[in-house]
Structures are given as structure tokens and as C-alpha cells.
Structure 1
């Protein structure tokens, strides 16, 4: 991500919303930059703290960090009670958890680890252009994977004029593998595999930086604390 950039592009690049959806959030007055309400078209610098708050949520007095197992078929963001609930609605309705924002997102069909927090520094650190934090996935594709494809992914490749960093691939069977990247480009795993001629049949995010999905079942969450939280914040150089 190259700074400065428009705030709607920032929210899209970090997986919080689409550009059009970001403008709607800004118009609702729930997007804040450095504690002040954002405006449509506003430019965001690398050092700015960007937050999306619920309509009546005040600035946080303390930070909360949650690991959530998103089930396949659930929206990360942008649902409504009239059509389809998203994970934020589920957390509020079932667990009374409010005031947190997903750090990035997973497509509706995909499952696995989503981090949520009210600490805007986490999103900024994980999606910085120079960031090198692991994102590990368990992927199943539509046909047999060959050694030449693994090698191409591990070298890094061009996808739509962007060059990806080298990935790590660990084969499990002919169609399933662990796939680790160190970037947060939009739909990156899907785009890399599509460029190699493959379609994803199943994708589960297993880990972000030092935080793993662990034994959580779909729909469950845990609050990061103790040694797990300390290790995560230290990895991101957040004090």
C-alpha cells in the first residue's frame, strides 16, 4: 500500500469495505482519522490512525483484540438485518461483543481466522507496504497441483501488473496444500492461483502473524491476552 491515498481506497485495500461501501461508512460519520470524523475524498498518511466505529461508539479507552473463526458462508462486513447478517452482527447478537473492526476480511465462501480490534495501529502495521507478516492458509484447488506450479508460487509472480513476494507452499496431497504469504493484497491467494490456472474449492485461514486459529470451531472466538497478546504486539512493534 502506497501512501498517501484516499480514505475509501485505504478501507478497500485493508479489506474493511469496497470503495463505494467506504464512502457510505464515511457519510454515516462512523469513520475516524486520528480521532476526528473522516470526510469523503480525504487523504490518509502512513502515520494516520484510521478507525471504523459503531454509530454511538466513543473513542476507545483501552484496546481489545479478538481472534474469531469465521464460518464459510458468513459475510465479514456489510450485512444487514433485512438481508443477511455479517460476523459483526453475530458477535453483537450472540456474545454482546461490540465496537471492534475486522482486520482485513475473508470472502463469504472462505473460512478461518479473522482478527478484530479497536486498535487502528494493527491494521496499519499488517497492511503497510513493507510489512512481512505471515498469513497462512489451507487451500484445496480444483485439479492436481504440479511441482512447476509450486515453484512458480514460491518464486513470486506477477498478478495484474503487481509482483508478489515469494510464497511458501507445503504439499498435503495432490490438490491440498498449506500456503503462506507475507502480503495483504486484495484476494491475493485467489488471484495467484487463478493466474496459474486453478480455482479454489476450499480456503481456510490458519494464521495471521503469530496468532493461529487453534482449536476454535466455526463461530467461536477468543480474546487475545497474556503471552499470546504480548507476542503478537511485539511482532508488530506495537507498545
Structure 2
């Protein structure tokens, strides 16, 4: 299998993080610096920073209520990174991202294999947000947002959008383009004042104060894994 899949399945880090380690030349295979896309055989010796990859720890799945100002990266040299913020006693990393200026639900795990299943937009996993903007919300704005907006060289997928109040709306996405909601709103002449993610698939922030985290319940985890198992076979 490819190197990034191999390492993600050890639980060391995600495929994206593996690609970063490869670019930084921190991974070797049989004593040689690993190249992107390298295929790994069962008898290959793979080292990260010259060390053997630790045995896979028991999988953990965490829901965190992320505050504004925290960056969803495993790179600990980045000021305000999510790893230092949580100070969790074990190696974990974020599933996806929630931009620095936004708050709300982010999932953390040490299970690299699950990340790709959750992040692929064609699987249609829902993420729900509550958004406050700087102008009065009109019916036309809600329709434009729901039908799709041209950003980043593509048209966003149709999504569910509903008004909460004059300046606040709810939106459910099944994709995750960079700063997607903010860019969509800007194309409609609006500026996002506050953005909070309140749900990922079946997981919510219920019971979590700002900055708090908890392990997923057995029911939440079972439900989520069932959904992921179904979509993998589509």
C-alpha cells in the first residue's frame, strides 16, 4: 500500500500529516528518504525521525468545543495550535479543520484510517453551522446560498439553509472547501461576524462549554462508524 495509507493505519497520524512529513524528509524507508507515493511492502523498515513507528494505541475519538483563535493543526510550531491547547496525554490530531476565526465542534482522534472516510465530500457527511452576518438576511440570500455559489474555481454543492433570526442563519454542508461559508457569504455581499459549527454527522456539542472536550459515547461512535461503513461501499 502507499506510504500515507500505511502510516495512517498505524494510527500515528493522518494521510495529510504523513504527506507533510514526507515533504519535510522526516520519513525513511529501508534507510532511504521516502518519496511521495512510495509503495510499502510488508518487510520494509519505515522510520519517522529515525525512530520506529510506535505500536498502535487504543483508538480514541474526542469531541472538542474549539474557541476562536485556536488553529486546527498538529504542527506544534504554530502558535495557538490545537494540540498544545488540549494538552492531551497521547498523540491525537484533528479530523478536518475549523478555521482560526471560527468556533465550535471539531473531532480529534488517533485513528488515521478514519480521517479519509470522513473527509471525502462525495460521501455526503453533514456538518451543521450557525452563522451570524452583518446585513439583514433576505429570502434571496438564503436561496442563493442553498443553490450553490461559485468560489475557488468551482460551484458549491446545494445545501440546506434556513433563517434563525434577522442576522443569523443555519446551514448544513456536505463538503468542506477552505473557509467555504465565509467565501459564499462574501459573494452574496455579506460578511460573517460569527461562525459556529454545532454538529458533525451525528455528533453534537451537547454538554460542552467553550474549550471543553469529551470522549464520544459508545452510541455516538457506533452510529458514526456505521455511517462510515455504509458510505465506503457506495
On whether the aligned pair clears a TM of 0.5, the verdict is yes
Report the Cα distance in structure 2 between the residues aligned to 1:38 and 1:169, rounded to whole angstroms. Answer: 48
Quote the offset at 1:129 in angstroms.
4.0
Aligned to 1:152, the other structure's residue is in SS state helix
The answer for the alignment partner of 1:29 in structure 2 is 26
The answer for the alignment partner of 1:155 in structure 2 is 147
Report the Cα distance in structure 1 between the residues aligned to 2:28 and 2:93, rounded to whole angstroms. Answer: 11
Name the larger-Rg structure: 2
Aligned to 2:165, the other structure's residue is in SS state coil
Q: Which moved more, 1:157-166 or 1:175-184?
A: 157-166
Q: Which moved more, 1:126-135 or 1:62-71?
A: 126-135
Report the Cα distance in structure 2 between the residues aligned to 1:60 and 1:110, rounded to whole angstroms. Answer: 32
Give the TM-score taking structure 2 as reference length: 0.76
| 8 A contact 2:132–2:169 mirrored in 1 | yes
* Residue-by-residue CA offset, 1:170-222 (whole Å, 9 max, x unaligned): 21111111111111222211221122121111001101111111120111111
| 8 A contact 1:112–1:205 mirrored in 2 | yes
Quote the offset at 1:39 in angstroms.
3.9
Change (3 A) 1:197 1:78: farther
The answer for the alignment partner of 2:58 in structure 1 is 62
Q: Which moved more, 1:148-157 or 1:130-139?
A: 148-157
Q: Which runs of 5+ in 1 are unaligned?
A: 8-13, 45-52
Report the Cα distance in structure 2 between the residues aligned to 1:202 and 1:104, rounded to whole angstroms. Answer: 20
Quote the offset at 1:68 in angstroms.
0.5
CA RMSD in angstroms, aligned pairs only: 3.5
Q: Which runs of 5+ in 2 are unaligned?
A: 6-13, 40-47
The answer for the alignment partner of 1:233 in structure 2 is 225
Q: Which runs of 4+ in 1 moved over 6 A?
A: 14-17, 53-57
Report the Cα distance in structure 1 between the residues aligned to 2:160 and 2:129, rounded to whole angstroms. Answer: 10
Q: What is the aligned residue count? A: 210
Report the Cα distance in structure 2 between the residues aligned to 1:77 and 1:235, rounded to whole angstroms. Answer: 26
Change (3 A) 1:76 1:131: same
Quote the offset at 1:28 in angstroms.
6.1
Quote the offset at 1:31 in angstroms.
11
Report the Cα distance in structure 1 between the residues aligned to 2:38 and 2:186, rounded to whole angstroms. Answer: 32
In the alignment, is residue 132 of structure 1 matched against residue 132 of structure 2?
no
Report the Cα distance in structure 2 between the residues aligned to 1:212 and 1:57, rounded to whole angstroms. Answer: 33
